[in-house]
Amino acid sequence: MPNSEPPSILAHAGSTSTALVGIQFAKASGFTVIETCSPHNFDHVRTAGANAVFDYGSPPCASDIKALTKNELRYAWDCMGSGEDLCIAAMTDAMPATYVTINPRSSASCPSRKKMVDIHGVIAYDILGDDYIWNGKPRSPSPDYRDFLQSFFDRCYGELENETIKPLRFFVNKKGSGLSGALKGLDELRAGNVSAARLVYTL
């Protein structure tokens, strides 16, 4: 008898703008969404649609996720680019799995006990389908990315219209308007004083 439970996906750094939008698309696609973030963002991430939320700073975080998913977690999305160890430790070791990160990584970095994990590094520029330079090295994305971008945009319009996908919360002119305010906003970001939101400035 086929498994009727929806597949699970783990998104590391669940309060980032990337993850907060991704949560909504994953839910709309039928996934059970598991997130990691700081405890003070738990409620906000749940509101965005996460089914379960874990503190990424907790030592048993990966093992707790593995227990919740009964060692069947096959998909992980690292929205910070620094959660490889946690994500891979939480994933199944009983079947092939896929880990996607916003920072390109080599499959050679995958721990030997997790050789069944297929690692992909995807940068936002890839979806344009054009060659570009990243960290001094040329990258040649697959032309298929451009086709995917068009189909994804077509879907986005409908999802936004029916409010399946909701825009991120934002703060306008935090610490002041104009370029001077924007520079202060950058300082706020660097200091870690902005979380689960976008900063918007009027010029």
Q: What is the pLDDT of residues 14-55, one digit of tens each?
A: 999 899 999 999 999 999 999 999 999 999 999 999 999 999
| pLDDT surpassing 80 at residue 109 | no
Q: Which of 193, 192, 168, 171 is nearest to 48 (CA)?
A: 168
Mean pLDDT, rounded, for 50-74: 98
Structural domain of 192:
169-203
Separation between Cα atoms, residue 82 and residue 73, nearest integer Å: 19
Which segment of 98-107, 130-139, 150-159, 194-203 scores lowest on mean pLDDT?
98-107
Rounded Cα distance, 82 and 150, in Å: 29
109 and 184 belong to one structural domain: no
- List the beta bridge partners of residue 19: none
Q: Point out the domain boundary residue: 87, 122, 157.
A: 122
Tell me, what's the pLDDT at 128? 84
Helix (H, G, I), strand (E, B) or coil at 75: strand
Element housing 196 (H / E): none
- Asked if residue 161 is part of any domain, the answer here is no
Per the structure, how many domains does the chain have?
2
Residue 41 resides in a domain: yes
Q: Is residue 194 part of a domain?
A: yes
**184 assigned to some structural domain:** yes
pTM of the model: 0.84
The better pLDDT of the pair 112, 21 is held by: 21
Which amino acid, 152? F
